[in-house]
Structure 1
């Protein structure tokens, strides 16, 4: 196979190292397009979330190493960060991606956001012209498998995400969130989930908006909107501040914060971090990020549900491996179907010529007959994938090609 990946995540790297390699959607698209211009790389996908950044590549040049390429894109010295990365290729990489897509590799085990994030990473790369058939099929089938796992199993006892874990964390700290004033900075997926979770616990929640359009941008039900530029003016009244944006800059800086007259719990759910780390040293401030909020992965697993999920994943993986191994034979299948069409036309060509039709109509009919013969034969040959031992594919198709070649010489 020709699939390679390098990734940094919560298992090996703290947030301050992970944020060094994080990318916005725009940056990921730009990098994917640039990397595909590198000789020997035919496909590239970049997955960047609060827990991880991964570079996936495919292509014939085994000298192209995703770690070195990612460091180059981020302007990082490869000698400094290698120990924080994991490296996988081919079958191991494919299995890892399928497990990742359904939350089995997440900091919050079984979380739901990762399916969307994997799909969005593929879409970003596709729009930038970065995908090839291999990574397109791998990522698409990983998302399909993950959706089936989510439909047929329950890896976690409840809907799970960084946002829901944050609400649980805050409930443990405050005992009750009823009536507690909270500010959520960011109205994206994670910010909205956090706001909804806090509101469902009875908290008084305000959510920042960059802009407010009536009937357009809105906030979760029961939450009050506040302009992003007004966040500092309302902050002194808050006891909880959650920030979850995709901004490359701090949403809160220590030098800009008003004096805190009572304890405030700051939860930074972003990578790169939204909240200036120096805020954690301020009087009355407690600062937490995803590593401290979510803790180690693996808690509350259900072995039976995990086995069922693995069975589903391996079924889809086998389908991908079948597709991948057969794809090298596709040019031969095309030749066989083309020869079959040629043979068909040599047999019926005279009959078509005798029909009482205009020359242009006879030409179109011949093209239709040839096209139909090509499609039928191709469908039959592709059907071998489902009914023939993969070890026999190559010899069987070689035999069919020889027979087709002989057929074109038989009048």
Structure 2
């Protein structure tokens, strides 16, 4: 049995393309079922802000690759999908996964989160029976080697994540975050990291909200100076803050162009989600400076 990876990632696809190919958990199940009905024997889907990659094991790897490429076009209803799809098979697929696990194929070089995302992807497929002996062993080895590479290259000595790089971008553009006010929308790992880094910047006030208010209350237990707000009033305080950071798992925009009124003061928006949380047209509004994931790579080079 041979292996391959067929996917779309930040190396050849802008964010407006990548967000079309994001897999939710339910979509992973549906997609895996469809692909396994054909020539593919095992499958693991890795879907993050920077990549949607389908790893397969098959007795006829070339046929399996063709089927997955066709799946991308049909499932996501995007006829130009093949213009952005890359394919690596056999040894090249293994090397690619090792590079991803080590953080060497990330938009933010050496990012901390990807290793956990790879582990979660493997566990998800393994528990549902989508991956078995071949891909499970490949992913476990990649995780092990990824840790060794990070340690050898001392990548982990610098805390790298999209949240970390994004907040450094804001510091560069604003000058100082001291005394500023911010709203964080999203109570997952990325949003929590953003709060952690903002705490080090001595902001005057940090608001936090999430569609599920119970998650907000959990975060507030760990960060005593947070101000929780109800999700439905998120627009109401935009004119009173300097920074908006969004990092939700919503499949659609949660900050829309039509719902933002004219702002009296400059608002910096950092959209760390994929699909994007913030309508890109908002960046054209007066007094709004909008950044998303594709802006972070430029900032990282300046941090070093």
Q: CA deviation at 1:10?
A: 1.4
Cα distance in 1 for partners of 2:216, 2:275 equals: 31
Instruction: Answer whether contact 1:166 1:294 (CA < 8 A) is retained.
Output: no
How many residue pairs match? The answer is: 298
Instruction: Answer whether contact 2:247 2:277 (CA < 8 A) is retained.
Output: yes
Question: What is the aligned partner in structure 1 of residue 92 from structure 2?
Answer: 92
* 1:274 correspondence with 2:277: yes
Shift in alpha-carbon separation, 1:297–1:95, aligned structure 2, 3 A? farther
Q: CA deviation at 1:218?
A: 2.3
Find the residue that maps to 1:224 and give its secondary structure. strand
Report the structure number with the largest CA radius of gyration: 1
Q: CA deviation at 1:152?
A: 4.7
Shift in alpha-carbon separation, 1:296–1:35, aligned structure 2, 3 A? farther
Q: CA deviation at 1:30?
A: 2.3
Shift in alpha-carbon separation, 1:163–1:118, aligned structure 2, 3 A? same
> Which protein has greater RCO, CA pairs closer than 8 Å, 6+ apart?
2
Question: What is the aligned partner in structure 1 of residue 242 from structure 2?
Answer: 239
Shift in alpha-carbon separation, 1:215–1:166, aligned structure 2, 3 A? closer
Deviation per CA, 1:134-154, whole angstroms, max 9, x where unpaired? 111111211122233344541
Question: What is the aligned partner in structure 2 of residue 47 from structure 1?
Answer: 46
* 1:33 correspondence with 2:16: no
Summarize the alignment of residues 302-341 of structure 1 with structure 2, pairs less than 5 Å apart: none
Summarize the alignment of residues 243-258 of structure 1 with structure 2, pairs less than 5 Å apart: 243-258=246-261
Deviation per CA, 1:223-272, whole angstroms, max 9, x where unpaired? 22222222111221111111111110111001112321111011111111
Deviation per CA, 1:102-145, whole angstroms, max 9, x where unpaired? 21111110111000111111122223321121111111211122
Cα distance in 1 for partners of 2:303, 2:175 equals: 21
Find the residue that maps to 1:233 and give its secondary structure. coil
Instruction: Answer whether contact 1:47 1:54 (CA < 8 A) is retained.
Output: yes
Instruction: Answer whether contact 2:243 2:267 (CA < 8 A) is retained.
Output: yes
* 1:218 correspondence with 2:222: no
Instruction: Answer whether contact 2:165 2:299 (CA < 8 A) is retained.
Output: no
Cα distance in 2 for partners of 1:166, 1:92 equals: 32
Instruction: Answer whether contact 2:150 2:156 (CA < 8 A) is retained.
Output: no
Summarize the alignment of residues 45-194 of structure 1 with structure 2, pairs less than 5 Å apart: 45-61=44-60, 62-65=62-65, 66-77=68-79, 80-155=80-155, 158-194=158-194
Q: CA deviation at 1:209?
A: 2.6
* 1:229 correspondence with 2:221: no
Q: CA deviation at 1:298?
A: 7.2
Cα distance in 1 for partners of 2:284, 2:55 equals: 38
Runs (5+) with no aligned partner, structure 1: 302-411
Runs of 4+ in 1 over 6 A off after TM superposition: 296-301
Shift in alpha-carbon separation, 1:240–1:299, aligned structure 2, 3 A? closer
Q: CA deviation at 1:32?
A: 1.5
Q: CA deviation at 1:299?
A: 7.5
Shift in alpha-carbon separation, 1:126–1:102, aligned structure 2, 3 A? same
Cα distance in 2 for partners of 1:112, 1:216 equals: 26
